Amino acid sequence: MLDALGLLAAGAVVGAAAVEGFRARSLVGRLRQVALCCHELRGALTAIDLALTSVERTAAPSDRRRVEALRHGYDRAVWVAGDLEAARGVLPARLAPRPELVDLHEIVRRVVDAWNTSLPMREPSIALDWRGGSALVHGYPMRLTQALDNLVANAVEHGRGPVSVLGRTDGTSVSICILDRGAGLMRPLDELRPRSWQARRGHGLVIARHAVELHGGTLRTVRGPTGSGIEVRLPGGAAPTAVRASGKRGMPRPSGSSAAAQ
Cα-only R_g, the chain: 22
Q: Quote the number of domains for the chain.
A: 2
Question: How does residue 23 score in pLDDT terms, banded at 50, 70 and 90?
Answer: low
Same-domain status, 138 and 212: yes
pLDDT of residue 83: 81
Same-domain status, 117 and 201: yes
Long-range pairs for 94-100: beta carbons < 8 A, 24 or more residues apart: 95/249, 96/247, 96/248, 96/249, 97/140, 97/142, 97/247, 97/249, 98/247, 99/138, 99/139, 99/140, 99/240, 99/243, 99/247, 100/138, 100/139, 100/140, 100/141
Instruction: Assess whether pLDDT exceeds 60 at residue 242.
Output: no
The DSSP output letter for 237 is: B
CATH assignment of the domain containing 122: 3.30.565.10
Same-domain status, 123 and 226: yes
Mean pLDDT of 71-86: 85
Write down which residue in 43, 75, 93 finishes a domain.
Answer: 93
Task: Give the least confident one: 56-60, 151-155, 198-202, 220-224.
Answer: 198-202
Contact 167, 132 (CB under 8 A): yes
Instruction: Note whether residue 30 is domain-resident.
Output: yes
Same-domain status, 87 and 102: no
Contact 206, 194 (CB under 8 A): yes
Instruction: Note whether residue 103 is domain-resident.
Output: yes
pLDDT of residue 115: 92
Same-domain status, 111 and 216: yes
Same-domain status, 126 and 165: yes
Instruction: Note whether residue 260 is domain-resident.
Output: no
Rounded Cα distance, 157 and 182, in Å: 11
pTM of the predicted structure, to 2 decimals? 0.73
Rounded Cα distance, 137 and 106, in Å: 11
Which of 63-67, 185-189, 197-201, 235-239 has the largest mean confidence? 63-67
Instruction: Note whether residue 249 is domain-resident.
Output: no
Same-domain status, 115 and 162: yes
Same-domain status, 102 and 231: yes
Contact 180, 163 (CB under 8 A): yes
Q: Residue 208 sits in which domain range?
A: 96-242
The DSSP output letter for 29 is: H
Same-domain status, 158 and 44: no
Contact 201, 147 (CB under 8 A): no
Which residues does residue 177 pair with via DSSP β-bridges, in sequence order? 166, 231
| Residue 261 backbone phi and psi in degrees, to 5 | -120, 165
The pLDDT tens digits of the residues spanning 127-137 come to 999 987 788 88
Instruction: Assess whether pLDDT exceeds 80 at residue 28.
Output: no
Side-chain-side CA neighbours of 235 within 13 Å: the count stands at 15
Report residue 69 CA to chain centroid gap: 17
Contact 103, 136 (CB under 8 A): yes
- At 53, the amino acid letter reads T
Instruction: Note whether residue 62 is domain-resident.
Output: yes
Listing from the earlier edge strand, what are the strands of the sheet with 173-180? 127-131, 164-169, 173-180, 227-235, 218-224
Question: How many percent of the chain have pLDDT more than 90?
Answer: 21
Mean pLDDT of 175-194: 75
The pLDDT tens digits of the residues spanning 218-240 come to 999 888 777 889 999 999 876 65
Instruction: Note whether residue 254 is domain-resident.
Output: no
Instruction: Assess whether pLDDT exceeds 80 at residue 250.
Output: no
Mean pLDDT of 45-64: 88
pLDDT of residue 61: 86
Q: In terms of pLDDT, which residue wins out, 79 or 147?
A: 147
Contact 68, 113 (CB under 8 A): yes
Instruction: Assess whether pLDDT exceeds 50 at residue 117.
Output: yes
Same-domain status, 148 and 209: yes
Pairing of strands 164-169, 127-131: parallel
Instruction: Note whether residue 72 is domain-resident.
Output: yes
Largest CA distance in the chain: 87
